[in-house]
Amino acid sequence: MCRLLKTCFLLMLVNHAEIIHSRNSEDLPPLLHKAVEEVITGKYLNALLDILHFQSSNAWTADMLTKVMAYFHAQEVMFTFSSLQMSIESYLKNLLYQPRQLLSEFQQLDQQQFQTAMKYLFNSRKDHLEMGSILLDWDKTRERIFQSPGVNRTLFLITLDRCFLALSALDCVDILSQVLCVSAVNYLQPDVIDSLPNILLGDAFRNLSAVFKDLYDKTSANTQRALYGWMKQILQKSYNISEFNESTSWVSAESLWILGRYMVHLPLEEILKIGLNEIRLFISYDNATKQLDTVYDITPELAQGFLERINSSGFDMRNTSTIYRLGLLVCFYDDMEQMDAAVARALLHQMIKCNQLRGFQAEVWKLKSQLLDIAMQNQTLDDILGSLSDAVVGLTSSQLESLSPEAVHDAIATLNQVSGWTKSQVMILSNKYLSCEKVLSFHNVSQMGALVTGISTQSFYSMNPKELSHIIRGTTSQYLPDLSPAQQQGILKKITASGDYSSSVKDIPGAFFKEISLPGLWKQTGYNSSMMKEKELRRSQALYLYELLSKKNYPVDLLSTGQLVKGVTCQHIESMGADTFLNTFKFFEMNLHLLSPYQINCLAWKFWKVSNVSIPPFLLVVLPIEYLEYVSGPLCVPFIASLGKTEMSLLNPSLHKKNAVLQKVQECLNGSIADEYDVDLFGNLICHLPPAFLHGRMSLKAMATALHPFKLCQQLSHEQKTEIKYKLLELYGFPNNWTAETTLDIGPFIALLSKGELNILAEKFPDIILQIAKTSGTISSAEELLSTVFESVAGGTANIKSSVTGSDCLGTRAPSSDEIIKLAEANAFWSVHELKCMDAGTFDKNVDLLGTVSGFNSSQLIALKEKAKQVWGSLPDWKSYHIISLGRIALALTEREIEELDLHSIDTISVLSQQTGWTLTQARSILQGFLEDSGQTISTLKSFDLVGLGAILCALNSTEIMSIRTAEFSAAVARIGLLFCSTPVLRQFKKMTESVFGTAASWNGSVLQEIGTIAGGLNEDELKAFDKNLMPYFQPVAIRLIPPEIFQALSPEQIANLGPENAAMVTRSQREHLNTSQLQSLQLALDGARTSTPETQNAASTTQEVQTAAPSDAPCLSGFSIWLYAVIILHLPF
């Protein structure tokens, strides 16, 4: 583009003599003359649009530029090439980074200019625009415009404001649909709905309604209610209201079709008035089922209202054809009297979709249970297993255990489509299905669907390797990520142990590939870059493979694979030529989430060295704090926008640097967030605003837009949440005045309300509070909310039951299945006595769910363990699926009780090892139980046994660790490197690691990444001996595990080269052992400083002069420069 500008400029100079002889404005066509005048008066956007309109009906002749230049010369408007360049940059920033100004300019356009703008932005099919010799890349231009949230909001608002008056309604609807695709949830606020045209008929109304239906899940509850109101208003105008009275409804079949999902906002009284002919016509419509399948947020009351009208309209509600038309209404079917088994099975078949409902799952499962009882009348479970749909998920372990293998085998086509299984259920059904098969093969495994996760590790390992290869590449591969690490390791061990190791490893697909050990990769040859495009890699694998492949491949070929970017070292980045680096940077930017903070820091320094003027602003965050000083004036908005599109956690700045970044952002915004445009600009950065800023510097207008982005934040502090709560109370008033929609929109932030305020909401909207609590996390983060939910669901005398478990439980409130399902995490509020009084059937049916409750204390867990013993019998009789279903309840088992369990299966051990909180003696008992029951010793353990043991390996003593076979340890070392064992255990694992990778002195970056926490077992001499350039390749968790007295042995140079992420993991205890020089080095690492500080500072100071110096003629922009810029601006890359 620069070459084009220079060419144009030279042509202008050549034509200068001709220009001065042609000064008459009459030589210019009227529209072009108007455009030139608009340039002179500063209306640049108007001028651009007039030029575009002019050339749409006029040929751009060769002398046109000459005539324009002559007119400018006659007006004594002078220009220089530098002012031309400056005006281009200035206007560009206006366009992208000042959307409010753009909105103002759009509002001042005349009707023809507005039509031209809409045409070229939304309806032009041209890839390029030609203006004489100037060629504009229009596709790329529009793409960049639509990537700017602020500009998109401007286009949305101006379309609402002017489009329906200037263009056809159908064209405007199409434009709105394009703009809303970017961010419907932020743009479609309730107050904006008032700006929608209230007279919109025919296809335009239907099309716009269809747009809103597609965006339903992307809008807030208040916006959904407002859109329903807008649709209702127009629909009502289609009818003569005088023809209706209080007993009839304006709702017709067509209205229901148009409303789509918005039909759930109809009041119950309106539903009950819908004409029977209209409801009959609606249900008869072919697409009615599809529409009713999407009403995920319908309530039981509204669903039953529709069912009542459908029933009254003459449909046979027990006819299979009718049942299939009901969509999600079937989830609330309530006519159970004298129902026959065939109808019950038809209903169950349809109810497989009910798990998509936004709530009411307890009610759904209660209905399924009732239908299951009816379906089984005069039949056995074996007989009808294949016709029960996903109601089988509600069967207890004992019911599933009673099934015959033949029944499970015959019903597999149904069972493999069901979701929602617990691990114990999957184990039972898989064992029964496979017991009918003499040999485990690709064919019979491929029939199992999700049940494939119930195949034991040993069974996988016993299969033919070729059959296993087919399984991991076939249709069953979608379930492989759900396999336990032990199962995955068992499959890999068998495949890689086969004769043709080389080809088998190459064929291992996707996420499965990352389980291959680093030594396993070393055995392979023939890797190429294209092979890596479908693999998922650990960082240790990527480091090895990138280094290997970089010897015969260009960086672009390796980086374009995606995952291989994890293996790029600073040395690789530094060795790239300037052009290569700039041309491949897009691959780093696209895969920022795959890069470590250290790699990002290296990229930033490289970019600064190669092209500091064009460095992406977000990279300044990972450079030392002083580099933020360069962000000022016109660089402010691009800096914030760049950060807003990037996850701050990926950049991983230290707390000190993060505060400096936020301070700079506040300075850039003059200390406040004024409106929705500022919220758009902030993007992800909004999650990091300090509490004080939220308190005093965010307007209520901005808060209304910011609510949704705040709900997406993953790590808001308690102080941030508290300030958000006060803002919400200021915005919406006190909770006693909230509507159901407001409560839904505020969502998880209700957990910060007082107990009294929560009680008010629970009384008004019990189902909504229940729905919010399900997604609000653990007790510690939402104790008051969960307590309120518990009291709402389980409180009152209605829950008091006379239990048969003993006289101690008479008159005691005991948990029911419905309550347990509804309460989820709030089950933690049952007393120990109440849990003891739970019915045996209730426990058996819900033990898996109870095992997931994180808030149970030790006394509650003991009560549940005792209940398990009461229900399942003595411990030696417990099956593997019993133990697995316990979840956290297993933590209450004593060492003696653990000894009584049958722990022969590594799959059972694998599940137990995933629980956190085992004592060392419990872990030791589990280890001994597994060895004794499986008939193994430490020396006979295979790699999948080691992986399955997981954290239990931390209970090994030094002798046992050294008896592990090297080959098996080698295959499992990456998994072992995830464990947080004691220092003595890590030291023994380190010794084993040396038997695989050689002495510590010979380890490289990929080895350090592979062994993870095991590096925490290095001694003082070994740690001191590491090259400083290897320090960033320690895994961050390993840094934290190095004892302080060992950590202090690191030299200042080693500490300075830790990298930002590793430096941030240094503990307080480790810091306390460091001297002044080491602490200074640690701060350098935290800041992302380079070791060559003098050179860096020189470069920085030079660039500061370049970036901050403003040309003296900056305010006086040449008229011609701006005009020509208006013609070519959108062609420039930015």
In terms of phi and psi (left: phi > 0; alpha: psi -120 to 50; beta: otherwise), the region of 811 is left
Opening angle at CA 129, ends 125 and 135, nearest 5: 145
Weakest-pLDDT range from 550-554, 603-607, 965-969, 1092-1096? 1092-1096
**Nearest-10 Cα torsion for 476, 356, 210, 221:** -140
pLDDT, tens digit (0-9, with 9 covering 90-100), for 919-962: 999 999 999 999 999 999 999 999 999 999 999 999 999 999 99
The residues, any chain, with a CB within 8 Å of residue 493's CB and separated by 6 or more, are 461, 942, 943, 944, 971
DSSP string across 762-813? HHH-HHHHHHHHTTS--HHHHHHHHHHHHHHHH-SGGGB---SS-GGGTT-B
CA dist 196 and 218 (Å) reads: 18
pLDDT, tens digit (0-9, with 9 covering 90-100), for 806-855: 568 888 889 999 999 999 999 999 999 999 999 999 999 999 999 999 99
3-state secondary structure of 273: coil
CB of 640 closer than 8 Å to CB of 682: yes
pLDDT, tens digit (0-9, with 9 covering 90-100), for 287-338: 899 999 999 999 999 999 999 999 999 999 999 999 999 999 999 998 888 8
Cα–Cα separations (whole angstroms), residue 953 to 902, 925, 972, 976: 19, 12, 12, 8
Amino acid identity at 148: S
Predicted pLDDT at 964: 97
CB of 790 closer than 8 Å to CB of 757: no
With CA atoms as reference, report the closest residue to 1005 among 973, 977, 1033.
1033
**Nearest-10 Cα torsion for 1118, 1120, 1121, 1122:** 90
Predicted pLDDT at 7: 35
The residues, any chain, with a CB within 8 Å of residue 329's CB and separated by 6 or more, are 292, 295, 298, 303, 306, 307, 310
CA dist 151 and 1078 (Å) reads: 49
CA dist 103 and 177 (Å) reads: 19
pLDDT, tens digit (0-9, with 9 covering 90-100), for 246-302: 678 899 999 999 999 999 999 999 999 999 999 999 999 888 999 999 999 999 999
Q: 3-state SS of the chain: helix, strand, coil percent to 5?
A: 70, 0, 25
With CA atoms as reference, report the closest residue to 493 among 968, 1012, 1108, 1132.
968
With CA atoms as reference, report the closest residue to 1008 among 522, 549, 544.
544
pLDDT surpassing 70 at residue 566: yes
Predicted pLDDT at 800: 55
Predicted pLDDT at 83: 55
CA dist 952 and 164 (Å) reads: 68
For 940-959, give the secondary structure using H, E and C: HCCHHHHHHHHHHHHHCCHH
Give 128's strand partners. 137
CA dist 95 and 109 (Å) reads: 15
CA dist 1070 and 1041 (Å) reads: 10
pLDDT surpassing 60 at residue 184: yes
With CA atoms as reference, report the closest residue to 1019 among 1052, 986, 992.
986
Per-residue exposure over 1111-1121, b if at least 16 CB sit within 10 Å of its own CB, e if not? eeeeeebbbbb
The residues, any chain, with a CB within 8 Å of residue 463's CB and separated by 6 or more, are 440, 441, 471, 494
pLDDT bucket at 595, cuts 50 / 70 / 90 = very high
Average pLDDT over every residue of 862-875: 96
3-state secondary structure of 1103: helix
